[in-house]
Structure 1
Amino acid sequence: MTPAARLSAAIELIDTIEKDRVPAAKALKEWGTAHRFAGSGDRAAIAGLVWDVLRRYASSAWLMDSDTARARLIGMLRLERNMDTPTMAAMFDGGRYAPAPLTEAEQAALASRSLADAPASVASDYPEWLDPHLAKVFGETRAAEAAAMASRAPLDLRINTLKGNRDKVLRSLAHLGAKPTPWSPNGLRIELGADARNPGIQAEEDFIKGAIEVQDEGSQLAALLTAAKPGEQVIDLCAGAGGKTLALAALMQGKGRLIATDRDKRQLAPIHERLSRAGVHNAEIRTPKGEADPLADIRSTADLVVIDAPCTGTGTWRRNPDAKWRMRPGALEIRLKDQAEVLERAVPLVKAGGRIAYITCSVLSEENGEQVRAFVARHPEFSLVPSEQTASVLWDKADAFAEAALKTPEGWLLTPRRTGTDGFFVSVLKKA
């Protein structure tokens, strides 16, 4: 496919996503199935265009003074890819499979309009109803924080220290441009360009042998901040597909007891194969059966209960840009109830002197600090572990991390702008 034909395909896809209200990933998959002539490079380039339009969904429409799929694509090419008008006009030439030529109105908008007078929610591409929520956390820097959350995320990997070490894997993945992550001692990062395909990590020998896992550095840091130790009894209460379970197992060095469960047993499906490939032998999967509590036999014995809480996912907007436009206020209320419920489930599991690590991939204070404060008010036997103490697990990076991340009275908030990671909140509470 020509570059111009890719633009036409992207416009078609954006139009489908808008009109049919389907998730972008689903629309892209269905388009690829229906257009098998498109090669992997074409599909990757078209997907890159679609995701970038969704990242610039509001600002691109403002720039072009139009909210059509075509206008959003044109606006994105200017704002995200810095494409000048002559270059754009050469691709929008009306030729075979190419988009129709730029209209006078489109050229005028490109020449005269900017984001200078746009509201913060438009200029930084987030739903307007979330503005007071972001202002509560970030104040006047909310636009800059949200703009960073609209950028493309790199591909981060975690070294599984049960099977590999970073120096060795760095050498074997040099052909992918892998470099150490700034914070995590076990992280690698592969930067991706606008049209770049995600490298086939699953085909790499290091992945097949279990030496690496795909995991954002923020998620790696969240696991590190739990301070799970060898020999402890650790419960991963919202294990899902097992990303943090695997990281916890590595921290425990295969020693102690690791129990992973999740209310939604469907989410647990991939965890068995992942644990096997990673060489984890001290993990036990508790799959829910009917209404029975899979942890009914555990009372006041856990050293650490990790809650990777269900949340709005505002911290993952870089990877799921369409999710923020589908998010509604009611979703926040539902998640707040879910979080309070899972925190209550953790209480009877923790032994005296044990810990709860509460984690979200959200940047909203309602899901983070406010949720933690409400929990401590209900359970005064739990107290907050000082943020400086939790950060000490980062050793020589602790001071720099403390300057970069946002420290709150309840814990640490990581953001793309501050730490170069997805957005994560981590709070550790200790039982008297």
Structure 2
Amino acid sequence: MANDKHRVRTAREVALDALVRIEREGAYSNLELNRALREAELSRADAGLATELVYGTVQRRRTLDYWLERFVAKGLARLQPWVLALLRMSVYQLVYLDRVPAHAAVNEAVTIAKRRGHAGISGMVNGVLRNVDRRRSELTLPERASSAGEIALKHSYPDWLVERWAADYGPETAEAICAAGNEPPNGSIRVNRLRAARDAVLERLKAEGLYATPSPLSPAGIVVARGGNLADRTEYRNGEWTVQDESSMLVSEAAAPSPDMTVLDCCAAPGGKTTHLAELMGDRGTVWSNDIHPHKEKLIAAQAERLGLSCIRTTVGDAAGLPEKHAEASMDLVLLDAPCSGFGVIRRKPEIKWTKSPEDVDAIAALQARLLEAAARLVKPGGTLVYSTCTIERRENERQIDRFLAGHAGYELDPEWPPHVLDALRSAGVIREGAAFPGMVQLLPQHFGSDGFFIARLRRRK
């Protein structure tokens, strides 16, 4: 067995280990997978398979368990965590991955079970998976989901979450949100226009055979399909671009800072919006970039240095304490990209659907209200406060802003967003043609194939 310690692990073994850690230790899927892939040093093809298995298995967990219940005689609750993860991962391959032969999925699952368990476990795994494969026609789901429960089962979400979305957006939109959350995320970059022109970068990517298109949400954005690791390229290291989701780019575009402003980003790590603000300002003025975690301050500073931005100043501390560091009414623009439930980024972090609860939403909303109070004190009369989240939960978004405005007569929603932003929102149907724009917007994951994001722009009256 000593040699087994140094044996090269397969893609399925790497995926299984990651799945167990995500389930047992509450690890974030993206961080855990990145760590596992770095350690395993798999080929590109095997790394792709491991990635598909981890994200797909976590995404479809409820549906996989629904099917497995009828094949595991003693019930899923009595299985060891690694055995349940192995069965889920294997059924995911049988049902959702056409390019993986059934015998390959079953045989390797049995091999892993033999290596990690006893003969009884490997025999059970073999029997369950062969039975699932033979009776695949019985693995059905509601074709036309009409209730929140049916939508939740069909797309693999908890009932409570779909019930909230159905109440807030209607059943049809709730189902579209769920379906979009199971789609793979787009790759996108934000060109640093202080160092490169978007058109030139586009042409270079296309010349390499990549499918690259300009983002409708940001004049600096490019969507790149199947582009690999866009942060592991010379252009990234040279500061020509930043890897960032399109919806996240929209926040700084909506904030629309001008050169020579004094700007504050309250919860800034890892620095995507901070550096975007600085680029939009032509690196003129001051961008204060704050985060509560000291190690993340270094990430922000490293991003600024990589991009050649000298106007960024980093600080560490609770955003609620920022009025103790900066004079009241001293900022032209304050951005509060608030901590949130993260339901807009489920396609990137699918475990969120299983780890968050209604009580979490209540606690996060209370924190957001506290941070908004602090941020509002720092805006100059006539200045701008931008509030954003990467969630689609109305308690954290529209209702949060309504509550804030009810208690702050000196603030009002500002509908004067840059024309290119409003044009993009109208073209996608996010804002109805002819309808007045209220100054806040909820992007859903199906609107642009990007993250779900909420953005409100407020003006402090003079």
Alpha-carbon displacement from aligned partner over 1:296-334 (angstroms, at most 9, x marks no partner): 342213221111001011111111112221222332122
CA distance in 2, matches of 1:259, 1:13: 37
Q: What is the DSSP-based 3-state SS (H/G/I as helix, E as strand, rest coil) of the residue aligned with 1:201? A: coil
1:57 matched to 2:88: no
Question: CA separation of 1:276/1:121 partners in 2, compared to 1, >3 Å: closer, same or farther?
Answer: same
Q: Partner residue of 1:159?
A: 191
Question: CA separation of 1:260/1:21 partners in 2, compared to 1, >3 Å: closer, same or farther?
Answer: closer
Q: Does the 8 Å CA contact 1:63/1:110 hold for their aligned counterparts? A: no
Alpha-carbon displacement from aligned partner over 1:44-72 (angstroms, at most 9, x marks no partner): 32122111111112223334445533443
Q: Partner residue of 1:131?
A: 162
Query: One-letter code of the match for 2:155?
Result: S
1:213 matched to 2:242: yes
1:111 matched to 2:137: yes
Q: Partner residue of 1:170?
A: 202
Q: Partner residue of 1:88?
A: 102
Question: CA separation of 1:167/1:33 partners in 2, compared to 1, >3 Å: closer, same or farther?
Answer: closer
Q: Judge which range, 9-18 or 148-157, deviates more.
A: 9-18
Alpha-carbon displacement from aligned partner over 1:263-320 (angstroms, at most 9, x marks no partner): 3333322111111121212222233499975753422132211110010111111111
TM-score scaled to structure 1, two decimals?
0.86
Q: Does the 8 Å CA contact 1:58/1:123 hold for their aligned counterparts? A: no
Q: Please, which of 86, 92, 100 is the counterpart of residue 76 of structure 1?
A: 92
Question: CA separation of 1:384/1:109 partners in 2, compared to 1, >3 Å: closer, same or farther?
Answer: farther
Q: Give matches, 1:271-286, under 5 Å.
A: 271-286=300-315
Query: One-letter code of the match for 1:254?
Result: D
CA distance in 2, matches of 1:291, 1:353: 22
Q: What is the DSSP-based 3-state SS (H/G/I as helix, E as strand, rest coil) of the residue aligned with 2:242? A: strand
CA distance in 1, matches of 2:31, 2:447: 31
Deviation, 1:35, is 5.0
Q: Does the 8 Å CA contact 1:63/1:115 hold for their aligned counterparts? A: no
Q: Give matches, 1:186-201, under 5 Å.
A: 186-192=220-226, 199-201=228-230
Q: Partner residue of 1:299?
A: 328
Q: Does the 8 Å CA contact 2:338/2:388 hold for their aligned counterparts? A: yes
Alpha-carbon displacement from aligned partner over 1:130-163 (angstroms, at most 9, x marks no partner): 2232123321120221110121102110011111
Q: What is the DSSP-based 3-state SS (H/G/I as helix, E as strand, rest coil) of the residue aligned with 1:305? A: strand
Q: Partner residue of 2:265?
A: 236
Deviation, 1:341, is 1.2
Query: One-letter code of the match for 2:256?
Result: A
Q: Please, which of 178, 183, 197 is the counterpart of residue 217 of structure 2?
A: 183
Question: CA separation of 1:293/1:23 partners in 2, compared to 1, >3 Å: closer, same or farther?
Answer: closer
Question: CA separation of 1:33/1:187 partners in 2, compared to 1, >3 Å: closer, same or farther?
Answer: closer
Q: Give matches, 1:6-405, under 5 Å.
A: 6-7=11-12, 10-11=15-16, 13-15=18-20, 17-19=22-24, 21-25=26-30, 28=33, 31-32=36-37, 38-65=42-69, 68-77=84-93, 80-82=96-98, 87-89=101-103, 91-93=105-107, 97=111, 100=126, 103=129, 105-107=131-133, 109-116=135-142, 119-140=150-171, 141-174=173-206, 175=208, 176-192=210-226, 199-288=228-317, 293=322, 296-386=325-415, 389-390=416-417, 392-394=419-421, 397=424, 399-401=426-428, 403-404=429-430
Q: Judge which range, 13-22 or 242-251, deviates more.
A: 13-22
Alpha-carbon displacement from aligned partner over 1:332-366 (angstroms, at most 9, x marks no partner): 12211221111011122111111110000000000
CA distance in 2, matches of 1:143, 1:57: 17
CA distance in 2, matches of 1:242, 1:300: 24
Deviation, 1:32, is 5.0
CA distance in 2, matches of 1:291, 1:430: 20
CA distance in 2, matches of 1:354, 1:317: 33
Q: Percent identity?
A: 26
CA distance in 2, matches of 1:208, 1:90: 39
Q: Judge which range, 258-267 or 7-16, deviates more.
A: 7-16
Q: Does the 8 Å CA contact 2:87/2:129 hold for their aligned counterparts? A: no
Greater RCO between the two (CA within 8 Å, min separation 6)?
A: 1
CA distance in 1, matches of 2:267, 2:381: 22
Q: What is the DSSP-based 3-state SS (H/G/I as helix, E as strand, rest coil) of the residue aligned with 2:351? A: helix
Query: One-letter code of the match for 1:264?
Result: H
Q: Judge which range, 238-247 or 200-209, deviates more.
A: 200-209
Query: One-letter code of the match for 1:131?
Result: V
Root-mean-square deviation (CA, aligned residues, Å) is: 3.1
Query: One-letter code of the match for 2:222?
Result: L
CA distance in 2, matches of 1:96, 1:332: 41
Q: Does the 8 Å CA contact 2:287/2:312 hold for their aligned counterparts? A: yes
CA distance in 2, matches of 1:168, 1:303: 33
Q: Does the 8 Å CA contact 1:230/1:255 hold for their aligned counterparts? A: yes
Deviation, 1:21, is 4.8
5+ residue gaps, structure 1, are: 193-197
Deviation, 1:172, is 2.7
TM-score scaled to structure 2, two decimals?
0.81
CA distance in 2, matches of 1:39, 1:145: 34
CA distance in 2, matches of 1:351, 1:269: 29
Deviation, 1:405, is 5.8
Q: Partner residue of 1:195?
A: none
Question: CA separation of 1:345/1:9 partners in 2, compared to 1, >3 Å: closer, same or farther?
Answer: closer
